[in-house]
Structures are given as structure tokens and as C-alpha cells.
Amino acid sequence: MKKDTARLKDLLGLEYLSRAQIEELLDQAKPMKQLFTRSVKKAPALRGKTVALVFFEPSTRTRTSFELAAKRLSADTLNIAASTSSVQKGESLIDTAKTLDAMKVDYIVLRHSASGAPHLVAREVKARVINAGDGSHEHPTQGLLDAFTIIEKKGKIDGLKVAILGDVAHSRVARSNLWVLTKLGAHVTVCAPETLIPPGLKEIFGSHVTITSHVDEAVKDADVINVLRLQVERQKENLMPSIREYAELFGLNLSRLALAKRDCIVLHPGPMNRGVEITSEVADSHQSVVLDQVTNGIAIRMSVLYWLTGHPLLDGGATAEQTLTQSEKLS
Ligand code: CP
């Protein structure tokens, strides 16, 4: 059967990508990482392109790593935040996006509190749109960097037992993880208080997913545990016990981690609530790969920016120098 590796105009969610497209994006991140871990961290692959970073919700990791990714590929960047833009004067998201399009930006990287906002923008603009997190829908580059980190540490995803712990109902990270991990062959156990498990997961993911509210059951023999941020702002909705009780019943601590495989790795997308969903002992342990995720986020975002150009893929087996030369020829 022919593999679906067609390039898309936009990256809106991992739900819409084939396994082959995901594998291309992950493979392409390897030479990107090689490139930016040398002393001269730049390649000219996106020289002359402009990347607009439109963040209408707070972000540390995603915004800065997209900016670094764009700059390391020699693109120009613009930063637009709701608090300092004409959104404050009532301008709509679509009008803001069309304004950027009229300025001939090549990419709009959008974070927005409304699920589906990047999809609406993508229909209205020529620029390539990348979803940097939309409401509780998807955060595709987070899903890709999590998968890349797992492959880097475990050598594969196929056949792994992955536990996702926490506020799954409100988590775009959980959704993008579920799509990428199940497409790449992992078995995912989702664990949260019953009120924080969204309906319909079984219908969508079938036998690839197990759902439980018992953390010990979820982490037993796990190869990977991905801990989600407890969205404490949801506390007022009475969807969970108190934060103290949540930490006791659902937080990942060393004794729970000991139930997993000895070489189990722990991921967290950040920002972490230490002492709530994860203890500092776990967050700072040798099994934690949280800072590897941050580093890999730049490589994945370089890969996504480059992939959307439609240029031939860089050679994953090439050295950083060969990659640089190849991307120079393409620019
Ligand atoms: N993981 C993540 O999206 O972090 P930021 O909110 O800091 O971008």
C-alpha cells in the first residue's frame, strides 16, 4: 500500500496526519537537533521567510522554542500578543490573521483559548498555520516532541506501555499524545479522576487505550509515564477533590514510580505544579526527561517549519555539516 506522506499546507492537529507523515516529521527532527547542538546553530533553510508568533494565551516553552526554531533556520520572527495588539480594541482573530497575511508573512503560529481557532484562520489565509495549542483540542508539536523524546530514550514507540496521568478532560497535550502514540503502536493507559476523563475515548481509540481512575494500576509496568499539569484554574468547577487530596490520590511520587518498569521515563509538558501532580523527587530524578523534552521541542519545531515548505526532506543520516550544505542549496 502507498504510504501517505503528502505535505500539508498547515499543521492543525495530529489527528489529521498519517503514521508515515508523523514518521517523516520525527525523522526530520534528528538532523535539526544535530544542527543546533553544534557551536554555530544556524542553517539558511528558511532565509527570507517570516514567522508570526501569535500567542493569545501565556506560554514559555512553545513560544520561545518556535522563535528559536525559526531563527535557527534563518527566518525572521514577529511576536504578537493579545495584550499589546489591536485585539484590545475589538479586532477579531480573523481580521488580525488577514492583516498578517496582507503583510506577506509565511507562517502564523497560533495559540488560542478557543478549540478550532487555528482551523478557522487556516481557511482564511495563504500563510501556513501551525497550531501551538487550541483550547482543550490539540497541541500537535507537543505530541511530536513527546514522541521524539520517547524514541530517543527507548528506541521505539511500537509495543510500549504509556500511562498518561492527570487532567485529561482539559488537556490538549493528552489528545495530541493519544493520537501520535496510538498511531505509532503504543498502548496508552489514561488515568484521572472520573470527572476529568472526557467521554468517547474508548469509541475513538478502541483497544489501543485503557481508562482507569487508579494510578497504581495505570503505572504498573509502564515504560513511559506522561504527567499532565493539573489545571488548577478548573478547581472552581468542582471537578476534582481538593488540590491536597488530588496530590495524594493522583500525584506521581517515588513509591508510585517504583511500580513502573525500572527504566521507565517520566515526561511532563510543563509548566509543572511541583507537589501537586508530580513531586520534586520525581521531577528531578534520573528518570525524568522533562528538560530533554524542552531541548527536543526546538528540533521538532524546526522540523515542522521545514516540512511545511514542501522542500525535499533532509537526510536523517547526514552530519550537521552535510545538512547545512543541503539546506543552503535549497534556500
Ligand atoms: N508545554 C507547553 O505548552 O508549555 P508552555 O505553555 O510554556 O508553552
For range 139-152, the mean pLDDT: 98
Of all protein residues, the one whose alpha carbon is nearest to atom 3 of ligand 1 is 62
For 77-121, write each residue's pLDDT tens digit. 999 998 888 888 888 999 999 999 999 999 999 999 999 999 999
pLDDT higher than threshold 60 for residue 240: yes
Q: How far away, in angstroms, is 331 Cα from ligand 1 center?
A: 30
Cα(327)–Cα(237) distance, rounded to whole angstroms?
50
Residue 243 — pLDDT band, cuts 50, 70, 90? confident
Average pLDDT, the chain: 93
Bridge partners, 208 (sequence order): none
Could you tell me if the CB of 142 is within 6 A of ligand 1?
yes
236 falls in which pLDDT band (50, 70, 90)? low
Phi and psi at residue 53, in whole multiples of 5°? -100, 105
Higher-pLDDT residue of 239 and 146 is 146
Q: 146: which 3 cell numbers? A: 513527546
For the chain, which residues make up each domain, given as ranges? Answer: 14-138+296-330, 140-292
Q: Is the pLDDT of residue 245 over 80?
A: yes
Ligand 1 and 270: CB distance under 6 A? yes
**CATH architecture label of 140-292:** 3-Layer(aba) Sandwich (3.40)
Give one DSSP letter per residue of 176-221, joined into a string: HHHHHHHHTT-EEEEE--GGGS-TTHHHHHGGGEEEES-HHHHHTT
Atom of ligand 1 nearest to the CA of 132: 3
**Residue 313: its pLDDT value, please?**
83
What was the pLDDT predicted at 7? 87
What would the grid cell of residue 47 be? 532565509
Q: What local confidence, expressed as pLDDT, does residue 3 receive?
A: 81
Nearest residue by C-alpha to atom 5 in ligand 1: 59
**Residue 297 near ligand 1, beta carbon < 6 Å:** no
Q: Give 234's pLDDT tier (boundaries 50, 70, 90).
A: low
User: Matching CATH topology for 14-138+296-330 and 140-292?
Assistant: yes
Give distance in angstroms: CA of 263 to centre of ligand 1.
Answer: 26
- pTM tops 0.75, yes or no: yes
Give the pLDDT confidence score for residue 33 in this predicted structure: 94
The pLDDT-based confidence of 320 (bands split at 50, 70, 90) is low
Q: List helix spans (H) across 12-157.
A: 19-36, 61-72, 93-102, 117-124, 140-154
Give the CATH number of domain 14-138+296-330: 3.40.50.1370
**If pLDDT is split at 50, 70 and 90, which confidence band does 239 have?**
confident
Angular region, 185: left φ>0, alpha ψ -120 to 50, beta rest: left
pLDDT grade for 163, boundaries at 50, 70 and 90: very high
Q: What is the mean pLDDT of residues 139-143?
A: 98
